[in-house]
Chains A and B, each alone.
Chain A
Amino acid sequence: MANYSVGIFSHSSVSVPVKDKKLLEVKLGELPSWILMRDFSPSGIFGAFQRGYYRYYNKYINVKKGSISGITMVLACYVLFSYSFSYKHLKHERLRKYH
């Protein structure tokens, strides 16, 4: 059921296998089978990251009048990600009576 189509990414030679439906068109009961149909091989995961990267890039940065918010959003996500990483050490530094 997998058919290949050319997606609009950074260059037109990147092709992506299009599974049955997109996520927003999947009914809730079909969700587990849809998840199991996705490609979880290393190249599949890499393809997912590549698609996500180019989706963000083409929407916010690769435009005629890109603003600073394109990269500021990335940095804000990076800050939140680092915070979640160091939460384990930071929770001892809260101003509480009992830790």
Chain B
Amino acid sequence: MNENLFASFIAPTILGLPAAVLIILLPPLLIPTSKYLINNRLIATQQWLIQLTSKQMMTMHNAKGRTWSLMLMSLIIFIATTNLLGLLPHSFTPTTQLSMNLAMAIPLWAGAVTSGFRSKTKNALAHLLPQGTPTPLIPMLVIIETISLLIQPMALAVRLTANITAGHLLMHLIGSATLAMSTTNLPSALIIFTVLILLTMLEIAVALIQAYVFTLLVSLYLHENT
């Protein structure tokens, strides 16, 4: 049971080569580009969604922050499509791997903070001390604020990994519980099946929300630093 539970999170390999790379390359195939003004339905739907999201997300930034809009839009599209594709049966979700989320979170956070320190050094350092603190508390508070700044990329990565992994694990467990109960006690199996349906709807929401949260936080770090 223990080995089976986490077997779906093993990165798939073909003869030792990582096939996870191929699976990560699947979402771009589902999002075509076009050079025409009027497109087929798939591209039109996707363009409408992307315009909606980008307007929602990039209005709060100044001109320097808006140079990041391509990065943030591709980030949210990638995370949302990868999470949603992971809800299909038997599929592998790359965002359950902590390595991948760290690889996404650390460069983005480091870029935002470094550009903040380079361009507006005094402002960036002033963020380390909240306004109106009593004087004796200042050294301790600076240390605490520094730690909370340094922990931001880890929190970003671990948040995404833990949410998606926990959701998939819960669905596995409840699904296998339904199967096990279906032979002995059918009414309770139906109740558990209802729980599974509700959980699936939650997972769809979580998939989208996690993408949104990740991108929103990165853009927040950007806003402070531009």
Interface residues of B in 1-57 (CB under 8 A from A): 4, 7-8, 12, 19, 26, 29-30, 32, 40-42
Q: Contact string, A74-88, partner B, CB cutoff 8 A, digits 1/0?
A: 110011001101100
CA separation between A78 and B8, bound complex, in Å? 15
For A, the interface residue count at a CB cutoff of 8 angstroms equals: 22
Interface residues of A in 63-78 (CB under 8 A from B): 63-66, 70-71, 74-75, 78
Contact partner of A71 among B4, B7, B30, B92, CB < 8 A? B30
| B122 within 8 Å of A (CB atoms) | no
Q: Are B88 and A79 in contact (CB under 8 A)?
A: yes
Chain B's closest residue to A58 (CB) is B40
List chain B residues, Cβ under 8 A from A93: 4
CA separation between A64 and B40, bound complex, in Å? 6
B62 to chain A minimum Cβ distance, whole angstroms, is 38
List chain B residues, Cβ under 8 A from A61: 32, 40, 42
B87 to chain A minimum Cβ distance, whole angstroms, is 11
List chain B residues, Cβ under 8 A from A83: 89-90
Contact partner of A82 among B29, B32, B41, B91, CB < 8 A? B91
List chain A residues, Cβ under 8 A from B12: 85-86
| A53 within 8 Å of B (CB atoms) | yes
CA separation between A64 and B36, bound complex, in Å? 14
Main secondary structure of the interface of A (DSSP, over half): helix
CA separation between A63 and B39, bound complex, in Å? 9
List chain B residues, Cβ under 8 A from A79: 88-91
| B181 within 8 Å of A (CB atoms) | no
A89 and B4 contact, Cβ closer than 8 Å, known pairs A65-B41, A70-B42, A75-B88: yes
Q: Contact string, A5-44, partner B, CB cutoff 8 A, digits 1/0?
A: 0000000000000000000000000000000000000000
Q: Are B42 and A86 in contact (CB under 8 A)?
A: no
List chain A residues, Cβ under 8 A from B8: 86, 89
Q: Are B90 and A66 in contact (CB under 8 A)?
A: no
Q: Are A71 and B19 in contact (CB under 8 A)?
A: no
11 A-B interface contacts by CB (under 8 A): A61-B40, A61-B42, A65-B41, A66-B42, A75-B88, A78-B85, A78-B88, A79-B88, A85-B92, A89-B4, A92-B4
